[in-house]
Amino acid sequence: MVLNRKLLTISRSCSSFARLKINKSSDYISPPHKTSNIRHIRFGRYSDETPEELTLRLYSTQISEWNHRYWESQNKMYLSLKQDLLSEIEQCGLDEDEHIDLAMQEFYKTYLLSNRNNFNTYTREWTKANLKMIYLALRAKKSRLFRIRSSR
Whole-prediction pTM: 0.77
Bridge partners, residue 5, by sequence: 27
**pLDDT digits 0-9 by tens, 122-142:** 999 999 999 999 999 999 999
Please say whether the dihedral angle defined by the alpha carbons of residues 56, 140, 29 and 19, taken in this order, is positive or negative: negative
**pLDDT digits 0-9 by tens, 17-31:** 445 566 777 888 889
The secondary structure element, H or E, covering residue 27 is strand 27-32
Q: What is the DSSP letter of 15?
A: H
Separation CA 1–CA 86 (nearest Å): 47
Q: What is the pLDDT of residue 20?
A: 53
Give the up-direction half-sphere exposure of residue 48: CA atoms within 13 A in the CB hemisphere. Answer: 6
Q: Is the pLDDT of residue 145 over 80?
A: yes
Instruction: Tell me if 35 sits within 8 A of 72, measured CB to CB.
Output: yes
Instruction: Tell me if 39 sits within 8 A of 29, measured CB to CB.
Output: yes
Q: What is the DSSP letter of 72?
A: H
